[in-house]
Amino acid sequence: MKTIEVCLTPDMLRYHDLSNKTVVVIDIFRATSCIVTALAHGVQSILPVATVAEAKLLQAKGYLTAAERQGSKVEGFDLDNSPFSYLKPELKGKTIGLTTSNGTQAIRSAQDAGAYEVLIGSFLNIQALQTYLQKSADAICLLCAGWKGKVNLEDTFFAGAVLANLPEFTSMNDDCVLALATYQQGLDNPVRFLESSAHYHRLETLGNRDDITFCLQRSIYHNVPVLRGDSLVNM
């Protein structure tokens, strides 16, 4: 039996045994959308780290580094986590250190919890992700990064979208039913639906409406980032 479960926030990871699971980390606004975009546009690898201090260490070692907190770039770093910042040709072939409020912590949490495999999911690469999961995964955990430990709407909505497209996987927890219901409620008009999310308003207030629109595009990229050691690279 092929199985799938949803973890609504990294805070709830304690209830999930990840040892034999393919974990998909989801941080739609904006870390995982940003990682997919960067690697789709030729960035060679991304080093996700949990803290600003770790990002500073990478910077000291000569890496380009990106750091976001509270939705904005942390002063002193090279890049933020807007996908638009990763379209520049001069980033091709580079390795970039990255820390964000939620997404990079979730990636590290999945690794620390002994995940068999850690993948990066977003609407931008949803079809490629699903194709890989259908072919190669037996047990999946969709890990929503949430916002500072709390549940968030856009990551849950995405988890529901993946669930809806993988009916051959048996749902293993009630989080799946919540995610699927959330997806089905918002399906007809995702932008309007997600306008009720807390983080949408946070980003909009910060002037990042274009980022929201960008991150909700479906399958414009075909790469599936995977964690190899400490680096995210294309599969």
The residues of the shown chain that bind its own copies, judged by CB under 8 A, are 8-9, 11-12, 14-15, 147-153, 156, 171, 173-175, 177-178, 180-182, 184-186, 196-199
Nearer to its own copies, 105 or 125 (CB): 105
Amino acid (one-letter) located at 84: F
Judged by CB, which is closer to its own copies: 195, or 230? Answer: 195
Shortest CB 142 distance to its own copies, Å: 14
Distance CA 107, CA 149 (A): 14
Q: Please, which residue, 54 or 154, has the CB nearer to its own copies?
A: 154
Cβ distance to its own copies smaller for residue 56 or 199: 199
Q: How far is the CB of 166 from its own copies (least distance, A)?
A: 16
Residue 193 to residue 184: CA distance in whole angstroms:
11
Question: d(Cα 138, Cα 178) in Å, to the nearest integer?
Answer: 22
Q: Please say whether the beta carbons of 117 and 136 come within 8 A.
A: no
- Minimum distance between the CB of residue 96 and its own copies, rounded to whole angstroms? 29
| Residue number with CB closer to its own copies (40 or 162) | 162
Least gap, CB of 13 to its own copies (angstroms): 11
Measured between alpha carbons, how far is 80 from 71 in angstroms, rounded to an integer? 9
Least distance CB 195 / its own copies (angstroms): 10
Per-residue burial over 100-121, b = 16 or more CB atoms within 10 Å of its CB, e = otherwise: bbbbbbbbbbbbebebebbbbb
Q: By the 8 A CB rule, do 66 and 48 touch?
A: no
C-beta separation of 45 from 95 below 8 A: yes
Cα–Cα distance, 219 to 144 (Å, whole number): 19
Closest contact distance (angstroms) between CB of 111 and its own copies is 22
Contact present, 124 and 221 (Cβ < 8 Å): yes
Q: At what angle do helices 198-205 and 153-165 cross, to 10 degrees?
A: 120
